Structure 1
Amino acid sequence: MKNSEIKTMGGYFQLQLSKGKEYYPDLIKLNTSRNALEYLLEIKKYSKVYLPYFTCEVMLEPMLKMGIPYQFYHINEQLEPILDFEVAEGECLLYNNYLGLKEKAVKTLTESLKNVVIDNAQAFFSAPLPGVDTIYSCRKFFGVPDGAYLQLNTEGRLNIDMDTSTYRFSHLIKSIDYGIERGYADFVENEKGLADNEIRTMSLLTHAILDGIDYEYCKTRRMENFSFLHEKLSAVNELDFDFPEQAAAMMYPLLVSKTGVKEKLIEEKIFVPTFWPNVFRWTTVDTLEYKLAKEVIYLPIDHRYSLTDIEEMLGILKKLL
């Protein structure tokens, strides 16, 4: 046995994390979802990619890096593709499972169209359909600095190095000692640092954290919080798509006519995001995508919050409506 293979014994204690089982043990483990798309494109050699206007601009990185032509498409009020174009042989269509609420649309689309890639970055708990290329992002749902999963419906694999995550960890540590706000600047820097990274496999640190998560608790908490909010807000919610009865959704989307609600919620320390600022550059004010980015309030419902917390948030919200 070489010295490098001898297990270290003694010394100081390392960070101790619970040992369990990750949620998708059989999928390809990578460092970011945009690199999962790049990995897929490297293997599949698609000549063109169709992607929605309503998506995060980081998903353009692989096509720009690889010189692959791409074309945007619009979605309808059901948040489903307007297929006024043909996806030719050797091309693919990328579709977002928005907030984890479009599982039925994913199934219908993949049954009717070839070469569909499902972006489940907002739908961690939506299981991949058999034989359907599917991408996941871990940090959108859990306290990890990076990490992604990829289901790839071919045997081809890339020979790539492993990533390291130590230098991306400060915002997670600061959030425990000082709170979310004090760690936000580090979070922003971490997000910037993920741009244009090489495709690598998931780091040991990220994998160790993902091994210790109680996924059933996280899933149940999201489902209960989502159902509670939908019951209380469906009567005033102006979004016109069909909500599922239950969903381990990323967030709860609310559209109301009153302006300024999003900004006032942030003043109350309820940090609601904008999905996605780049949409304002890609579209015009008369498009549905612009409205979804500008006006929809995406309310947090994740495992950090009990129903009591959600009720308190709802009380603040109702005073603003």
Structure 2
Amino acid sequence: MQKTKTTLRTMGGYYELQLAVGKEFYPNLIRLNTGRNALEYILKQKGYAKIYIPYFTCDVLLEPIKKLDVAYQFYKINDQLNPVIDFEIEPDACFLYTNYFGIKQETIKCLSRQIKNLIIDNSQAFFSAPLPGIDTFYSCRKFFGVPDGAYLQINKKLSRKLPVDSSVSRCSHLLKSIEFGVEAGYSDFKRNNDALVNNEIRSMSPLTQRILSSINYEECARIRKRNFEFLHKHLQAQNLFKFDIPDDYSPMVYPFLSADRDLKLHLIQKKIFVATYWPNVFKWTTSKMYENYLARCMVPLPIDHRYNLQDMFFMLNILQQFI
């Protein structure tokens, strides 16, 4: 009788980190280590000679583009964050569009019917399901407390097996945030963020996958939507960015556009840490361009699952001191 080989299971010893056992939000997508590497994966597999990218985006997207020596060209967006396509897209070129703040699903649907080689960057739209047949990628750490991780939908997988990433050395900011608060871990966050630069394409680490499997996604999405709607109800009239709320959405932040260029600084001084999307845009654009104005004056207010309505009311009271 042939003996079946079995792997010995370790028993006893110390207790490992205990996380709830659940399911990932995208169990059927390709698990990778970073969003920029998801874009590299697409460019490698599809062999595009050129890519069109928006001026209003993060400069990390240029990392895989330059690594693969793919030609690129910037395009503009209008005041609805929709692309201004006043050029012809070559047959061997692709077009990347960002689902800004997680509220541009309708635009994506329209683009999917118009553009053949479309790539969707859902880094700001984790809960927006990918459209069938459209290459789409997600960056997990934009929405959850993970050190890295990305998901990718593509219909043409790499033939080689990817090495598995390790995230242990990039978790210090997450642990410090629990014991000492977010501010105490910020320098670690920046250092761990820098460690993701120029990494090769790897499969998602077991640690990141385990954390992502422990999250109550339904609750996280519900809270984001509730907080977003609360702020929109009270700020819509003063928000210079006018937009329609999609039927099915769970956004990253509340995008508040103000004429006050110092509003972000005022909020940061009150310990409401709002980011600039994106500092590199100032280098890519002139002061007269709409994207430059967005980078300077768009205030992304936090609305994620860490906060309740009392937190939203507190932030609203501070904000209204300056608007």
- Decide: shared fold, TM above 0.5: yes
Q: CA deviation at 1:3?
A: 10
Q: CA deviation at 1:242?
A: 3.4
* 2:142 aligned counterpart, secondary structure: coil
Q: CA deviation at 1:52?
A: 0.4
CA distance in structure 2 between the partners assigned to 1:14 and 1:3 by the alignment = 26
Q: CA deviation at 1:94?
A: 0.5
Match of 1:179 in 2: 181
1:140-168: CA deviations, max 9, x gaps? 00000000000002355442100000000
Maintained 8 Å contact 2:260/2:297: no
Q: CA deviation at 1:134?
A: 0.3
Aligned sequence identity (%): 54
1:100-119: CA deviations, max 9, x gaps? 01000000001111010000
1:5-38: CA deviations, max 9, x gaps? 3211111111011100000000000000000000
Maintained 8 Å contact 1:226/1:247: no
Amino acid at match of 2:260: K
* Count of aligned pairs: 321
Match of 1:189 in 2: 191
> Judging changes above 3 Å, is the alpha-carbon distance between structure 1 residues 221 and 246 closer, same or farther for their aligned structure 2 residues?
same
- Residue correspondence of structure 1 range 53-64 to structure 2 within 5 A: 53-64=55-66
CA distance in structure 2 between the partners assigned to 1:285 and 1:42 by the alignment = 35
Match of 1:122 in 2: 124
Match of 2:214 in 1: 212
Match of 1:264 in 2: 266
TM-score (norm 1): 0.97
Maintained 8 Å contact 2:32/2:150: yes
Maintained 8 Å contact 2:102/2:128: yes
Amino acid at match of 1:69: A
Runs of at least 5 residues in structure 1 that lack an aligned partner in the other structure: none
> Judging changes above 3 Å, is the alpha-carbon distance between structure 1 residues 276 and 9 closer, same or farther for their aligned structure 2 residues?
same
Maintained 8 Å contact 1:43/1:157: no
1:159 pairs with 2:180: no
Maintained 8 Å contact 2:21/2:214: yes
Match of 1:148 in 2: 150
CA distance in structure 2 between the partners assigned to 1:28 and 1:158 by the alignment = 13
* 1:139 aligned counterpart, secondary structure: helix
Runs of at least 5 residues in structure 2 that lack an aligned partner in the other structure: none
Q: Which residue of 27, 40, 44 corresponds with 1:42?
A: 44
Amino acid at match of 1:6: L
* 1:150 aligned counterpart, secondary structure: strand
CA RMSD of aligned residues (A): 1.5
> Judging changes above 3 Å, is the alpha-carbon distance between structure 1 residues 157 and 97 closer, same or farther for their aligned structure 2 residues?
farther
CA distance in structure 2 between the partners assigned to 1:32 and 1:156 by the alignment = 16
> Judging changes above 3 Å, is the alpha-carbon distance between structure 1 residues 203 and 4 closer, same or farther for their aligned structure 2 residues?
farther
TM-score (norm 2): 0.96
1:11 pairs with 2:13: yes
CA distance in structure 2 between the partners assigned to 1:239 and 1:280 by the alignment = 20
Match of 1:289 in 2: 291
1:24-80: CA deviations, max 9, x gaps? 000000000000000111111111111001000000111111111111111111101
Q: CA deviation at 1:2?
A: 11
Q: CA deviation at 1:90?
A: 1.8
Match of 1:199 in 2: 201
Q: CA deviation at 1:244?
A: 3.3
CA distance in structure 1 between the partners assigned to 2:34 and 2:269 by the alignment = 31
1:307 pairs with 2:309: yes
